[in-house]
Structure formats: C-alpha cells, structure tokens
Chain A
Amino acid sequence: MTTPRSVLIIDDDPDFAQAVGGLLASSGYEVMTASNGRDGLDRAKKELPDLILLDVMMTERTEGFFTLQQIRRVPALQHTPVIVVSSIYTDQSVFRVNPEAGWLPASLFLPKPVDPARLLQESARLIDELAATTSGEPRAGSVTR
C-alpha cells in the first residue's frame, strides 16, 4: 500500500489553509497546517513533509522569507519542495523583485489567489521530481528520526 504524500501548509489565513487543505486532501494528500513561521518550521522538522506550501505575509510581512531560509538550513529539509504562495508582489507594489531571479530558495512561486488546478499539478510534479532524483535513497518523508 502506498503511503500518502504529506503536505504542510504554513499560512496564517485559516480560510486559505482550510480551502487548499481540503483540495489537497481530496486528491489523496495527507495535510498538516501551521499558522506562523515558527510553528511551521517546528512542524516541518518533526514531520518532514513531502511538500511545503508557504505564505509570506503572516505575523510579519516578510515572515515567510525568513522561514524559508530557516527551512533550508535544516539538512533534512534542504531538498524538500517549497511552493511560496503569496500576494506580496501585488500588495507591495514597491517590491518589484522577480521571484524567478533565483534569490528565493523556493521551488516555485505562486501568486494568490491560487489556481487550484495549477496547484495540484505543480504539487504532484515537484514531489515526483524529488522522488526521481532521490530514488534509491530514503525519501524526505521517511527519514528515520
């Protein structure tokens, strides 16, 4: 029996977490949530999810950026796919930084409101890509702790 792939949603908006969580759960994912960066990092270290959806503007408007840096500092999470899902570039018109420029150590940036079909498609793709590159090795979600 295949173990369900796990997704951690780090977002302070419970409506978003519930809606996207429901979408992912109905597609067979095991969903976990955290409402701020600190809890999200703790949860990620403990659960080692297969994918992380990360908001940026939470308690602080740059919280997600700092959380992402901390996630990447954890050896077991260095290659875990992270999709940054945020409306920061529309909310902060002055912050015209292209997320594709390589400065954000995320796998993908998706603007809010998120397109459900695209989210499902990208989630499956990123998890499969990691599984392919780490085939033969324990996958992120099954590392012995």
Chain B
Amino acid sequence: MKILKIPKTDLDLFASILPTFGELHAPVRRGRGFAFDRPALWSDVQINYPRTILPPRKLFLPPRELMFHFDPAEGYSSLLAEAATPRVLFGVHAYDIYGLNILDRVFAQGPFRDPYYVARRQHTIIIGVDVEPDEGHFARSMNADFVDSGFDLFLSDLGDHWLVLVGTSRGDDIVVMSGSLFETPSEEDFNEYKRRSTSRRAAYRTHVEMGDLPEILEMEYHSQVWEDLGARCLSCGSCSMVCPTCYCFDVADEAALGSRAGDRVRTWDSCLFKTHALVAGGENFRHSRASRIKFRFYHKQRGFVAEYGRPSCVGCGRCAASCPAGIDITTVIKMIRGQADAHGDRTTAASNPSREPVPAAPGAHLVHPTVGA
C-alpha cells in the first residue's frame, strides 16, 4: 500500500479535481446534523463531523429506487445504467466503510448479486477520513474503528498534514492526477501516525463486550428483556433507516390505473414495521413489538455471526441517537448480559436477585434468525 501525505491547507486544491472522477458527495451541515450531499463550495464540506444522519448506504441502496419500466408493448427498459453514474464519496468514517464492506457480502458477493448495488459500488470512489469518537461511538468494540479495505484513499490526521493511505489503483490515479500536491511522509510522520492511532483508540469511551454475545443471546431467547423492550419500542423503524447495514427492502410494481405499463420500485423497509412479516392469508410471524425488536437484535448480533462470521453492527451509534424511545443498543447488550436493568441502569445479575433465570425453550438453540428480505 502506497502511503503519502498532503498539507491540510492544500486539501481544497485536491478536492477541486475530484469531480473529474465523478459527482462529489461529502458531509455538509443539514439542520443541526450532518448529511452526505453535494457541496456548493469547499467550505461547505465538514471534515470534522461526528456522524451523518443517514449513513452512505443511501447512495448505494437509495431509499426509493426505480429499477425498470415495464410495458406490454415495449417490454422492459432497465434503469441499471443510471446506477453506473461515477461518484466520489469524500469523508467517510472507517465504521461506515466497514458498513459498506458488510453490505458487499450481502449484495456483491456470492451467487445472488444485486446488479444495481454492484454498479453503484463499482462506480463510486471512496475517500475515508478519521473520526474523533464521541460518547455514542462504540466502533472500537465492533472492531470497526479502523479499516484496511473498501476505500480508494484514506486520510488520517497528522496535525498540519493528512497521512494518505492509497487503497486501490483508482486511488493512485487520483494521486497522479493531483500533480505535486502529495509528499512522501517521513519517519517522524509515521511515528506521529502511530501516536495518534493509539490515542484515537483510547478516545473511545463507550464499550460493549461482544465476545460471547451470540451464545448469551441463545441463552436469553425467552428473556423478559425483549418484552420490556417491546413495551418501549414504538416500531417507528428509525433505527433501521439510520443503520449502515440494514438492508431490508420492499418491491412493488406501480402501474397507472387502467394501464398495464408501470415501474418496478424498490423502497427501504424495516423489520420493526408490523407488516414486515405479514404474509398472504393474514398470518404475521412477528405480530408483537417485542418479537420484532428481538428479531432485529438477533439478526444483527447473532444471525449475521452465524452467516458471515461477525455481527453486522459497526458501532456508529446512529440507532441510539435516533430512537425516540431512548433504546440504546449498548444498554440492551448490557441488559442481556445482566449488567443493566430494563431502564438501562447498571446493575449485575448477582445484585439483582429478583431476576429469575429464564430457561431456554426446547430447541431454542436451533433457532437461527433468518436473514431479512
């Protein structure tokens, strides 16, 4: 991997050539938060931001996506070409890149690849940047605070310079195009990187123990915790909408009244919605709110581990920040571990003798939460 550096004062010059490679999307202010959007000026770009409201997933799996037109007279006309618009996504944090790498496993690897997602991914250059973690980030616990793949360039703060990791040949093309903006880092720069890398690790204040969580989730499948959470959850789906790795979708054919021509449309869905597990005949496999919020946690923290070897959570903290009922995934994990009560207050199983151990139902260990739609 090629490693370079660029003075911070020259980043605007570097950014001005990025549109050569595609539409520039970067974090900009949106109300009281931040969002990936197209900047009108370089000063619109917020390189030091805690997290965007929506993760970059929206650029790869749009909230509402026209897939193709259909017409009995003309057949299908695909809109796949539109997904291949070249773009440059600047300022992505490591955990969000990790999130995209997780989505790749679902949509871009294995026998069933999604051509729309793959086209967007292939035509989007990713430029990552360091984050200064706040109270909501727990990416360190999810091993998503650093990434070593999934980006073309990655910028790490060195004080008056950015250290630039060149991840792909495409990233190298950008460097070559940028003329003499980049410099060769010195031994001192590498030492400074190592020092800052250590202090960034230490800056994570929120931690959860993920070690044996899948096993504990097996034990706690019938825990009262899920009922308590179900009583609080509003089933609004906000946590799914802001999650970097939630990918459930709904597909509908929309035709004008009296016409057999129309569009196939894919829209975001959420397993928190009551209709998500509703099937023909009126049966709903997850009728209660408790069963739905339980499904979401099991899919992220247990089902994904079985399927892909790691949880699909990246520790960005968006779900906790967006939940109107104040449900925080880190607290839920502590509740499951018996380290916090239903209100999220820290406790221990030993200091809470009223908590009855809930025996696992026969065959509970065989229940593998299924991958969502």
Q: In the bound complex, what is the Cα–Cα distance between A105 and B178 (angstroms)?
A: 16
Instruction: Contact check, A62 vs B16: say whether CB atoms are below 8 A apart.
Output: yes
Q: In the bound complex, what is the Cα–Cα distance between A97 and B181 (angstroms)?
A: 9
Interface residues of chain B: helix, strand, loop or mixed (majority): helix
Does A92 belong to the interface (CB within 8 Å)? yes
Interface residues of chain A: helix, strand, loop or mixed (majority): loop
Instruction: Contact check, B42 vs A62: say whether CB atoms are below 8 A apart.
Output: yes
Q: Which chain A residues lie closer than 8 Å to B40 at the CB level?
A: 37-38, 66, 70
Closest to A63 in B: B41
Q: Which chain B residues lie closer than 8 Å to A109 at the CB level?
A: none
Stretch at the interface among B17-25, B72-80, B159-167, B327-335: B17-25
Does B371 belong to the interface (CB within 8 Å)? no
Q: Convert A50-76 into 0s and 1s, putting 1 for each residue whose CB lies closer than 8 angstroms to a CB of B.
A: 000000000111110110011000000
Q: Which chain A residues lie closer than 8 Å to B181 at the CB level?
A: 94-95
Total contacts A to B, CB within 8 angstroms? 54
In the complex, what's the smallest C-beta–C-beta distance from A9 to chain B, in angstroms?
19
In the complex, what's the smallest C-beta–C-beta distance from B162 to chain A, in angstroms?
15
Does B210 belong to the interface (CB within 8 Å)? no
Q: Which residues of A contact B (CB under 8 A)?
A: 37-38, 59-63, 65-66, 69-70, 92, 94-98, 101-105
Q: List 19 A-B contacts (CB under 8 A).
A: A38-B40, A60-B41, A62-B12, A62-B13, A63-B41, A63-B42, A69-B19, A69-B24, A94-B13, A94-B179, A94-B181, A95-B13, A95-B181, A96-B180, A97-B17, A98-B179, A102-B20, A103-B20, A104-B20
Closest to A101 in B: B177
Q: In the bound complex, what is the Cα–Cα distance between A94 and B39 (angstroms)?
A: 24
Given contacts A66-B41, A96-B179, 19 further A-B contacts (CB under 8 A): A37-B41, A38-B41, A60-B12, A60-B43, A62-B12, A62-B13, A66-B40, A69-B24, A70-B40, A94-B13, A94-B179, A94-B180, A94-B181, A95-B181, A96-B180, A98-B179, A101-B177, A103-B20, A105-B19
Does B325 belong to the interface (CB within 8 Å)? no
Instruction: Contact check, A62 vs B180: say whether CB atoms are below 8 A apart.
Output: no
Q: In the bound complex, what is the Cα–Cα distance between A66 and B90 (angstroms)?
A: 15
Does B10 belong to the interface (CB within 8 Å)? yes
Which of B24, B40, B177, B180 lies at the interface centre, i.e. has the most chain A CB atoms within 10 A of its CB? B40
Instruction: Contact check, B16 vs A66: say whether CB atoms are below 8 A apart.
Output: yes
Q: Which chain B residues lie closer than 8 Å to A96 at the CB level?
A: 179-180
How many of chain B's residues have a CB under 8 angstroms from any CB in A?
19
Instruction: Contact check, B42 vs A66: say whether CB atoms are below 8 A apart.
Output: yes
Q: In the bound complex, what is the Cα–Cα distance between A96 and B39 (angstroms)?
A: 24
Q: Which chain A residues lie closer than 8 Å to B306 at the CB level?
A: none
Does B360 belong to the interface (CB within 8 Å)? no
Q: Which chain B residues lie closer than 8 Å to A95 at the CB level?
A: 10, 13, 179-181
Closest to A58 in B: B41
A92-B13, A94-B13 known; A60 vs B42 contact (CB < 8 Å)? yes
Q: In the bound complex, what is the Cα–Cα distance between A60 and B15 (angstroms)?
A: 13
Q: In the bound complex, what is the Cα–Cα distance between A79 and B40 (angstroms)?
A: 20
Q: Which chain B residues lie closer than 8 Å to A60 at the CB level?
A: 12, 41-43
Which of A61, A66, A95, A105 lies at the interface centre, i.e. has the most chain B CB atoms within 10 A of its CB? A66
Q: Convert B1-39 into 0s and 1s, putting 1 for each residue whose CB lies closer than 8 angstroms to a CB of A.
A: 000000000101101110110001000000000000001
Closest to A61 in B: B12
Q: In the bound complex, what is the Cα–Cα distance between A37 and B180 (angstroms)?
A: 26
Q: In the bound complex, what is the Cα–Cα distance between A15 and B61 (angstroms)?
A: 49
Instruction: Contact check, B19 vs A62: say whether CB atoms are below 8 A apart.
Output: no
In the complex, what's the smallest C-beta–C-beta distance from B12 to chain A, in angstroms?
5
Closest to A41 in B: B40
Q: Which chain A residues lie closer than 8 Å to B19 at the CB level?
A: 65, 69, 105
